[in-house]
Amino acid sequence: MVLAHKLVKGGERTLLRHHPEETDFGVQLAGKHPEVMAEAAVIGVESGAAFIDLNFGCPIDLVVRKGMGAALLRRPTKLVEVVAAVREAVDVPLSVKIRLGYSQKELNCVQVALRVEEAGADAIGIHGRTRNQRYRMSADWALIDEVARAVSLPVLGNGDLLTCWDLERRRRETCVESFLVARGALVKPWVFAELHEGRPLDPQPVERWSMMRRYLDLAREHFGDDEQGMTRVRRFFLWHLGFWNRYYPWQEEDFLRTAPESLLQARNPHPPDDPQWQLLASAEEADHERIWERLLAGEHPVV
């Protein structure tokens, strides 16, 4: 997410940097002024964005208090003006991300989606929660389905897709055909392969260390090997470890038992009695530091 008003003033440029192999690279913009958003979209396209996405779902106080992100769900006319202005400014595919509404009492996603379609967007991503829910409760897929039935645009359903069973269920129970996955990819970077194959994958520790090492190599390439770059690499790496350690080999029974609640809050109560699995499942900061130092030193498997 790039703040449009900062981008047009020359800021946020590092967020536009991407790997040459990232041909599907897109830029997501947040802002409330149609002309500023349009100018930012042009900068995004000039910087190589293959598509533009507009963020009307961000629930963060700092963003909402300034009238951006999900705040615009309360001002649908302004929201639509932004969509129309960006549509006018760029030719690349334009998607719009919304939530169900601002609060349970303001569930206006169907009306907003219809107006967004009229304003010329090419797709609508919808996170099945309200702004006030943020990440609490389960995503409401019945309402996402209502949006998908109301508009002719592709709707990208979003919320709590963590396993192949979640995807199978949403495909079966709704008419949504496209999906967005966020936290599942933070916990299991291989989730997309799972969803494609329709079965859980269970990478063993040696593969998981290699994935971490690969992340580290790419992050170093991206941020740079100097002190400033490495400070950022370390910060991001430790942040990711906070998600990676939550993985355990979810089975269909886990899915059935916890559904419709998210498995994200669940932790493996009994990781295998093996030092590598124990370390990979550890939420302790000291263990995360240890993993960072060992991987950085080229020592992996870590245990």
Ligand X SMILES: Cc1cc2nc3c(=O)[nH]c(=O)nc-3n(C[C@H](O)[C@H](O)[C@H](O)COP(=O)(O)O)c2cc1C
Binding region for ligand X (CB under 6 A)? 1, 28, 55, 57, 97, 127, 158-161, 181-184
At closest approach, how far in Å is the CB of 298 from ligand X? 29
Under DSSP, the state recorded for 71 is G
Cα 268 to Cα 251: distance, rounded to the nearest angstrom: 12
C-alpha R_g of the chain: 20
Q: Is 109 a catalytic residue?
A: no
Biggest alpha carbon–alpha carbon distance for the chain: 59
At closest approach, how far in Å is the CB of 121 from ligand X? 15
- Residues contacting 72, CB < 8 A, separation 6+: 32, 56, 78, 79, 82
Rounded to 5 degrees, what are φ and ψ at 96? -135, 130
Rounded to 5 degrees, what are φ and ψ at 99? -115, -175
CA angle 193, 158, 91 (to 5 degrees): 90
At closest approach, how far in Å is the CB of 62 from ligand X? 13
- The residue from 58, 109, 164, 175 that is catalytic is 58
Q: Indicate the SS3 state at residue 163.
A: coil
Residue number, 122 or 303, with CB nearest to ligand X: 122
Residue number, 37 or 302, with CB nearest to ligand X: 37
At closest approach, how far in Å is the CB of 152 from ligand X? 23
At closest approach, how far in Å is the CB of 303 from ligand X? 28
- Residues contacting 153, CB < 8 A, separation 6+: 113, 116, 117, 121, 122, 123, 124
Residue number, 69 or 205, with CB nearest to ligand X: 69
- Residues contacting 266, CB < 8 A, separation 6+: 248, 254, 258
Cis bond upstream, residue 260 (ω within 30): yes
Residue number, 197 or 239, with CB nearest to ligand X: 239
Q: Indicate the SS3 state at residue 217.
A: helix
Q: Catalytic residue positions?
A: 58
